[in-house]
Structure formats: structure tokens, C-alpha cells
Structure 1
Amino acid sequence: MAPSADKKLTGLIAATFTPFTREGEINLLEIGPYIDYLTEKQGVRNIFVNGTTGESMSLSVAERKILAEEWCQKAKGKMDQVIVHVGCMSLKDAQELTRHAEQIRADAIAVIAPSFFKPSNADVLKSFLQEVASAAPTLPFYYYHLPAITGVNVPAKDVLDGIEKLIPSFRGVKFSGSDLMDFGRCVSYCLPHWSVLYGVDEQLLAALAMGGHGAVGSTYNYAGCHVNKLISAFENGDLVQARTIQFKMQELLSHAMKLGFDLGVNKQLMNEVSGLCLGPPRLPVMPCPPDRAQSIARKYHSIFPEC
């Protein structure tokens, strides 16, 4: 994986689900077919593993290591970049996962803000990120901004200010928030070798117009082929086509949200659309009622009849 480690990250990055067996144990056998599905059916060649979609906070450190290693091994020669999320409530655990990511030759790591004992301001958060990064100082590093889940409402731009001096390996931010002013300020501050990646799938076009370099999201697991067309249309100046695809994604997600669209539903929708067997989520996330995922899958196929 290492040769592409300093290649600027652009385009779509699928935030992967963690495959489980019916008994709730990690299922490594499904990772190879999963990667083939992403590359061959969805045209997605970058992945963000062990993140929110991957239920990382419900996994043990040992499980996260096993998964990260399997993703990196199976992605070799097929994926452009594998970003391993190593954020934890414990600084020591995050550092341990960082050293492991370097050992398995992950292309980059990402770190979310701790959300139990929360950093009180940007300087405290930057100190935490710096300590994690110090465990593998040359490994490309991304800050994962997700205030709605972490409750850490520090503007991402405040985190970026001067961070290149603290973390020379810093390469950008996964911005999973709806504040497009803050997002735009991050893009404006961005150094040439950084990537500002948007994480609210239903608003991607707005982020591209603000200058975003790519996107990380769960829906790109099963709708990546369509969103790739959105990005191509935008880059070619065809805003009508780009808006048409974005509006279709909004129609799909609006339908899903009315039915109750959470991680359990999203994972089951991936099972329905892809044909993979990723299993149920792990408690406290509840499994999805089959009829709900099937209803959303029917809506998906009615909106997107083919790639």
C-alpha cells in the first residue's frame, strides 16, 4: 500500500461496514468479495475502514487490528488507498492502533475526537491528535470531524489552524458536518498536498462547489457508481446532470429517513443491494426489520435502475 501513501486523496472513498457473522463475530471471509464488489460494481477504489459505519467504537482493539490488517492485505493491488480509522476514547489505544496501521502498511490513518472526556477547545484537541500522530510520525494523518456524534463542537477550521507545525504528516480532514461555512474555510486554508473530504452524502454537490476534493460516505458502498457520475458531471461543467443525480440521492435518503434510517438499516440495505452477507450490526445498534430495508432497496432500484 505504501507507494501511494503520499498521493493526494480525491474522489469517492467508501466508509466500509464491518462484516459480522450471525453470532456477532467479525467475518473476515467477506472482505475479499466486498473489495471486489466496490472496485468492479461501484468503481470505488478508496476505502475508510473501522470508522463510524464500521462500528469501530463497538469493536475491541484486537478486533480492529485484525480487520485493518485484512482490509489492507485484500486491498493490495486493487484499491488505491486504505485509510484506517484509529480514533479511540483512550489515547494509548489510539497510539497502539496507529503503530499497528504503520506496520501493516496502511496508506493513512484518521482520528476522531474523543467523545466521553471531550476536548474543551481546539488546542486541547490538537494536542490529542498530535500525541496520536507521534506514534507513527511519517504516516499520512487525517482529522475526522463528526460533531453531531462526538458532541465536540469545535470548528474544524480552528483545528486546522497551525496543525501542519504540530503534525507534519497531516494530510487533511474528513468533514462530516453540515456547516458549509466551516467547510469552506477549511478548503480556503488547505495546503496544496491536503485533501478536504466531505462526509454528508446528500449534500456532496454543495461541497464540491465549495472546492472539496472528494467524499467519504457509507452510501458510496452501494451508490458509488452513480455518485461517480455526479462528480464527473460536475468536473465537466454539466451542473444540470450533477444536480439531477444529487436530487435522486436526496430522494432515496429522504425516503429512508422517513422509515428510520440508522446504521442497522443502512447495513441491511447494503446487504440487499450488493448481495454480500455482512451480517447484522452489533448491539447497541439494533438489526433492521427486513421489510424496511427491502422497501428502501425497492426505492433505490426505482430511482437507479442501473449503473
Structure 2
Amino acid sequence: MINQTVAEYAVFVRTKPKFLPPNKTVCRTHRGKDVLKALSIMAPAADAKLTGLVAATFTPFTTQGDINLPVIGPYIDYLIEQQGVKGIFVNGTTGEGMSLTVAERKVLAEEWCQKAKGKMDRVIVHVGCLSVKESQELARHAAQIGADGISIIAPFFFKPKNPEALREFMKEVAAAAPNLPFYYYQIPALTGVNVQVIDVIQDIEQLIPSFRGVKFTGSDLMDLGQCVSYCRPEWSVLYGVDEHLLAGLAMGVHGAVGSTYNYIGCHVNKLVSAFENGDLVKARTIQFKMQELLSYAMKLGFDVGVNKQLMSELSGLSLGPPRLPLTPCPHAQAELISQKYRSVFL
């Protein structure tokens, strides 16, 4: 019975809509519930396909620039209760991960995992470093603290000169935590590593058995489409350009990771639902609102520091300043963007 049920689930995975918002069941029938029950019995949650919105979290700092752990619990509650977002990607670009020490990243990852336990569906920890040894150290630590997956960007000082070099780097990191789902994080605008993702992931499962997908933060829709087309049933292609999400959905992405989902996730969930239901007019309307807000913010100099202050303004959480070389956002600038948000969405 279980083998038959799992087989039915495998067929369903190949034929279901590609993008599932959080809390949306994959099958409305009683049989579908049996499928999910059998799956949960046979495999840990981390082995399930990653879908839906994932918030790229900001790292809370004190006014003195130290990590501020007490904010993380309320932050998680805010994401769940106010934004309907139940997946997080921590210590990444939005979290200023590359500006943190290895020790700080460990403490933060552990706190995120502990506070999210029993509340969040998925906690993905970014473990990318310039040093493969430090990446391996963080990967092992992520496995020890109960993370649901790990991810790395390409090293960006000494850059991999071709897909093969990048794949070898990824292999060494993934091998340090072989039981954790592993995701490659492509963000060429910041790393300067412009290899085609499709060239990186072809036959990657033979090199990295734990490989489970890509966080694709770029505007090359041809490469994105090839990744989706090539994607194995258990893999996820997660789009990372918030203002282009609808295009990503049309290309067939399975989820999305973004900073704006921290504070407009509730609206983006409606965009996803509209797309799933074939209401493109509604989906476009919400996407255009996102673009209006972000276009306005970009004209004012939108960066992680500004984005972090905007999150503080809209959520009421005290996230503190960014860490140098990023500079704090003037309150007046964040307030202008907050007013724009209210005029667009409220």
C-alpha cells in the first residue's frame, strides 16, 4: 500500500503545478492526504520538495553592531502571522552573511533553527565562504543544529574559471553535510561569476547526491528556463528576483527566495494564488504594484541597508543598522519608501 501510494505521489510530482504557496495542499482528495501521510512517515521534512515563498532574512544587530539574538523569535512569529511565510533563508545576501564572522554565522544559524522549530516549514542556511574549509565547517554545523538545507554562492575573489571548477567547490562543501539538501545560489551581479547555471547542474546528482536545486537570482530567463526544463522531480528552482517573480512563475519555477517577502509576503502569496488559479490580470496587478514600490525605492538608492531599515519601519522589529561597508539608511528615506508602500498596497 505504501509503495503504491509513494508511486502515485511520484506521478503527482511530475504533473502538479510547479509552484505551491505555503499552506496550500498538494491534493484536495482524501487519497492525496494519504499520499502526504505516507511520504511524511517515510522521509524527513527536509527531503520534501522545497516550494512556496522563502524570506531571505535580515540579521538583527544592536546599535553597537553586535548580533541581536532576542529579535529572532519575534521576527519568526511576524513572518508566520503577518506575512504567511513559513520558509527562511538565513545568513545570505540580505542577512549580510559575508560581513559576519564564522562564529557569528554559527550562533545566528543555531538561533534561527531553534526558534523556528515547530513553526517554520524550512530553514535553509547559507554556508558559502571564500574558503572551502570555512564553508565545510559551516555545513557541518548546519547539520548538527538541525537545519533543513544548506546553500552556497560561488567564491568571488578567486573565482571558479569554469563550471567544472565551481562544481568541484560545491562537491567539497556538500560532502561535509551529505544528508542535508544542497542548493546552489546563483547571484552573478554580486559574485561576478557568470557561468550558465544549466552547465553547472547537468548530471550534478552524480557528483553531489544531496543536490536539491538552485536559488536563481538573475535575469537570464533562457538559462532559468533551461534549468526548470532539466530539473529532476525532487529538485527545486527557486527564483530570487522579486520584481520579476511573475515571469519566473510563467517559466515554471517551484518557489521563490527574496528579501521583500519579509514585509510584502502576504501580498505576494496572493499573486502566486492568482497565477495558480489562472487569474493573470490579478497576478499582474500585484506584480506591477511590487515594481512600482521597488522602482521608487531604487531611485532613492535601494540597497541592503535601506531594505533593512524599511523592514524595521514596516514590521516594528528593531533590526539595527547594517554592518560596514554598508551604511545606515536615513530615517527620512525609509519613511518615504514606507509611505510609498502604504499608498500602493494599503
TM-score past 0.5 threshold:
yes
Match of 1:299 in 2: 340
- For residues 278 and 220 of structure 2, the distance between their equivalents in structure 1, rounded to whole angstroms, comes to 25
Match of 2:293 in 1: 252
- For residues 3 and 295 of structure 1, the distance between their equivalents in structure 2, rounded to whole angstroms, comes to 45
User: How is 1:195-206 mapped onto 2 (pairs within 5 angstroms)?
Assistant: 195-206=236-247
Q: Secondary structure at the match of 1:267?
A: helix
- The equivalent position to 1:238 in structure 2, one of 259, 262, 279, is 279
Q: Which amino acid aligns with 1:146?
A: I
Q: Secondary structure at the match of 1:158?
A: helix
Match of 1:141 in 2: 182
Please tell me whether residue 268 in structure 1 is matched to residue 306 in structure 2: no
- For residues 105 and 168 of structure 1, the distance between their equivalents in structure 2, rounded to whole angstroms, comes to 19
Please state how far the C-alpha of 1:162 moved relative to its aligned partner: 1.2
Please state how far the C-alpha of 1:137 moved relative to its aligned partner: 1.0
Match of 1:192 in 2: 233
Please tell me whether residue 214 in structure 1 is matched to residue 255 in structure 2: yes
Match of 1:126 in 2: 167
- For residues 294 and 3 of structure 1, the distance between their equivalents in structure 2, rounded to whole angstroms, comes to 43
Please state how far the C-alpha of 1:97 moved relative to its aligned partner: 0.2
Aligned residues: 304
Match of 1:164 in 2: 205
1:53-99: CA deviations, max 9, x gaps? 00001000000000000000000011000000000000000000000
Which TM-score applies when normalising by structure 1? 0.98
1:5-41: CA deviations, max 9, x gaps? 1111101000000000000000000000000000000
- For residues 191 and 93 of structure 2, the distance between their equivalents in structure 1, rounded to whole angstroms, comes to 11
Q: Secondary structure at the match of 1:285?
A: coil
Please state how far the C-alpha of 1:4 moved relative to its aligned partner: 1.1
- The equivalent position to 1:45 in structure 2, one of 86, 91, 106, is 86
Any gaps of 5 or more consecutive residues in structure 1?
none
- For residues 177 and 271 of structure 2, the distance between their equivalents in structure 1, rounded to whole angstroms, comes to 36
Please tell me whether residue 74 in structure 1 is matched to residue 131 in structure 2: no
Q: Which of the two has higher C-alpha Rg?
A: 2
Any gaps of 5 or more consecutive residues in structure 2?
1-42
Identical-pair percentage: 75
Please state how far the C-alpha of 1:252 moved relative to its aligned partner: 0.2
- The equivalent position to 1:10 in structure 2, one of 17, 31, 51, is 51
1:188-216: CA deviations, max 9, x gaps? 00000000000000000000000000100
Which TM-score applies when normalising by structure 2? 0.87
Please state how far the C-alpha of 1:3 moved relative to its aligned partner: 3.0
1:114-173: CA deviations, max 9, x gaps? 000000000000000000001011110000000010000101111111111000000000
Please tell me whether residue 152 in structure 1 is matched to residue 193 in structure 2: yes
- The equivalent position to 2:142 in structure 1, one of 101, 113, 119, is 101
- For residues 294 and 157 of structure 1, the distance between their equivalents in structure 2, rounded to whole angstroms, comes to 41
- 4+ residue stretches of structure 1 with deviation over 2 A? none
Q: Secondary structure at the match of 1:244?
A: helix
- For residues 217 and 239 of structure 1, the distance between their equivalents in structure 2, rounded to whole angstroms, comes to 21
Q: Secondary structure at the match of 1:5?
A: helix
RMSD: 0.7
Please tell me whether residue 111 in structure 1 is matched to residue 142 in structure 2: no
- For residues 280 and 49 of structure 2, the distance between their equivalents in structure 1, rounded to whole angstroms, comes to 25
- For residues 108 and 73 of structure 2, the distance between their equivalents in structure 1, rounded to whole angstroms, comes to 12
- For residues 48 and 326 of structure 2, the distance between their equivalents in structure 1, rounded to whole angstroms, comes to 35
- For residues 198 and 167 of structure 1, the distance between their equivalents in structure 2, rounded to whole angstroms, comes to 21
Q: Which amino acid aligns with 2:335?
A: Q
